[in-house]
Structure 1
Amino acid sequence: MAPDVPTRPAAWAGVAALVACAALWSLNGPLIKLLSPSEPDSGAGVPGLTIACYRSLLGGLVVLPLAVQRARTLRNVPARWPIACVVAFTIMTACFVIATTQTAAANAILLQYTAPAWVWLLSPVVLRERPRRREAVWLAAALGGVAVIFFGNAGAGSRGLLIALVSGLFFAVLTMLIRGMRQVDANVVVAVNLLGSGLLLIPAMVLWGEIALSMRRTLLMLALGVVQFGLPYVLFAWALQRVEAHRAALIVLLEAVLNPLWTWLVVGERVPPATLLGGPLILLGVAGSMGSSARRGET
Structure 2
Amino acid sequence: MNIVYLVFGNNLEHYQQIYFSIFSAMARKKENDRIVVIAEDPSLFNFFEENVEIIEINKEIIKRWEGQYQFFWRVKIKALQLIAEKYPSESVLYLDGDTFFYQDLDTVREGMNNGQNFMHLEEGKLSSLSSKTEKLMWKQMQGKEYNHIKIDKNSTMWNAGLIGISKHHLDSLQIVLDVNDAMCADDVTRRLIEQFAFSLGLSKNTELKSADHIVGHYWGNKKHWNTIITNFLKESFMKKHALMQIVENLKEMDLTQNPVWVKESNTEKRLTKFLNKFYQNKKTTYIKK
Give the TM-score normalised by structure 1.
Answer: 0.25
**Greater fraction of residues in helix:** 1
**Greater fraction of residues in strand:** 2
Give the TM-score normalised by structure 2.
Answer: 0.26
